[in-house]
Amino acid sequence: MSTPRVLFGFHAVGVRLRAAPGSIIEIYVDPGRRDARMRQFVSHVAESGVRLIEADSVRLARLCGNHGHQGVAAHVHDLAPVTSLDDLLDGLSKTRTTEATDPSAGVHPLVLVLDGVTDPHNLGACLRVADAAGVHAVIAPKDHAAGVNATVAKVACGAADTVPYFMVTNLARTLNELKERSIRVMGTSDTAQTSLFQTDLTGPLALVLGAEGDGMRALTTKTCDDLLRIPMCGAVESLNVSVASGVCLFEAVRQRGLGHI
């Protein structure tokens, strides 16, 4: 069994409670919070049989490392990794071959690649957007990215447990491996000539976004098949990476005819 870690916030703990209650060691709640949301949450915990412990706000803040816990925290074991990136992509390929008559099964790979996103809040928000858009995996470099911690899980509102997040040793090599699988690698850049809305985002696709301000690293940019830009009509020069991820991913969703947009 893995070393226990902390989840906090209603969404992060609630999703784990629904998806994998057996992985939860114990849940802490603030007895001073007695609103309807807390009462409903406590009722769900009682139904699950997970151990429930009362802890005041100060103790919860010490446990979580901040005061954003909403009165809810949990000690949990990490879930077993769904698969390796190669196995995940192999599985999607087999699904398309054997179940092509099922529209939901026939979706081409949609991957989000984050280059240089080191802020846990941004990573959490990107995972939440990725989950909403039906992304199959999120990829980031090991040496230039945030890992999944309690803050990421809280901001992700449960998506940290539902979206496979792969941290790779060499991002450029991984992007080339995606291209060998006939997955187009499209990077985002403010200086790109082609607009997002002029770009075909159907078919197997990896969208690459860099951190706000710095953007993608030079080698990452060079490795992309092509670059696109998000049209900006106002005075601001760039979007937060999670917002940019949402814009790009849901344009892909729209073009693919998913989500009934």
Is the separation of the CB atoms in 150 and 28 below 8 Å? no
85-255: CATH topology is: Alpha/beta knot (3.40.1280)
CA dihedral in degrees (60, 128, 114, 148; nearest 10)? 30
Q: Does 154 score more than 70 pLDDT? A: yes
CA distance 161 to 246: 19
Confidence (pLDDT) at 243? 95
Tell me the whole-structure pTM to 2 decimals.
Answer: 0.74
Q: What percent of the chain has pLDDT over 90?
A: 59
Domain boundaries along the sequence of the chain:
5-76, 85-255
CATH for 5-76, options being 3.40.50.800, 3.40.640.10, 3.30.1330.30, 3.50.50.60: 3.30.1330.30
Q: What confidence tens digit (pLDDT) does each residue in 183-200 have? A: 999 999 988 999 999 999
Amino acid 227: pLDDT = 96
Q: How confident is the model at residue 118 (pLDDT cuts 50, 70, 90)?
A: very high
Q: Read off the pLDDT of residues 50-92 as tens digits, 9 standing for 90 and up.
A: 999 999 999 999 998 888 899 999 999 887 666 789 988 887 7
> Are 14 and 41 within 8 A, CB to CB?
yes
